[in-house]
Amino acid sequence: MDTNPSVEMFQKVLENQMLQTTKIVEEELDAEIQKLDQMDEEDLERLKERRLEALKKAQQQKQEWLSKGHGEYREIPSERDFFQEVKESNNVVCHFYRDTTFRCKIVDKHLAILAKKHIETKFIKLNAEKSPFLCERLSIKVIPTLALVKDGKTQDFIVGFTDLGNTDDFTTETLEWRLGCSGIISYSGNLMDPPFQTQKKFGTSFTKLDKKTIRGKKYDSDSDDD
């Protein structure tokens, strides 16, 4: 069977691109090796000090987060506690739940896992029946709803499971991806490639805040007045 000329041309182009990419990577590695070879003991010592300082700062940041309740998924007792929690942390995920809604248990399971993985973000839950003021101000009408709060401002909502493949069987990775889309966690995956395979069927129409809500306003413990 004769080979299709177009296929041959495509293969050659692909091979050339791979060779060029390999060459670039090799050149970058050679440059790094050369840079290290040219360093004297004093340069290496300074490099070591900078890395140790960076590790020290990272550890201090981790301890600060842990002291503020990061690293665990926990319930807060009241609306007043909500205002204090979002003041203390730059990134907060708050699950508005109800005891009688079984899908809230599904969310609990995934958030407990993500809280341990993403200590840069605080994960909390609040009983919607005990927080009528917040639910009204945030127009929370569907349970479960996740309020994503960044720098004291509500950035986004995840309402029900629509953004998660519209199924009760969504994975922790799917919820992690959705949180990453809002920038509320440090997501290392590809945001353009959702973990679930049903994206085309169900879509990913994210729920945004209505203009009547408190988007863009700093949370404040005295914010009972409009």
Paired strand residues for 145? 96, 159
What domain range is 126 assigned to? 72-182
Tokens (6 digits) for 198: 């049903």
The parts of the chain modelled with pLDDT lower than 50 are 198-226
| Burial class of residue 18 (count of CB atoms within 10 Å of its CB; 0-12, 13-18, 19+) | exposed
Instruction: Compute CA 14 distance to the chain's CA centroid, rounded to the nearest angstrom.
Output: 35
Residue 128, domain CATH: 3.40.30.10
Q: How many helices (H) and strands (E) does the chain have?
A: 7, 5
In a domain? residue 107: yes
80-134 pLDDT, tens digit each = 999 999 999 999 999 999 999 999 999 999 999 999 999 999 999 999 999 999 9
Q: Is residue 194 part of a domain?
A: no
pLDDT (0 to 100) of residue 128: 97
Structural domain includes residue 150: yes
Q: What's the domain count of the chain?
A: 1
Whether 213 maps to a domain, the answer reads no
As a whole number of angstroms, the distance between CA 179 and CA 168 comes to: 17
Coil, strand, or helix at residue 6? helix
* In a domain? residue 17: no
**pLDDT at position 20:** 73
Q: What pLDDT does residue 34 have?
A: 72
Is residue 97 in some structural domain? yes
CA–CA separation, 173 and 197 (whole Å): 12
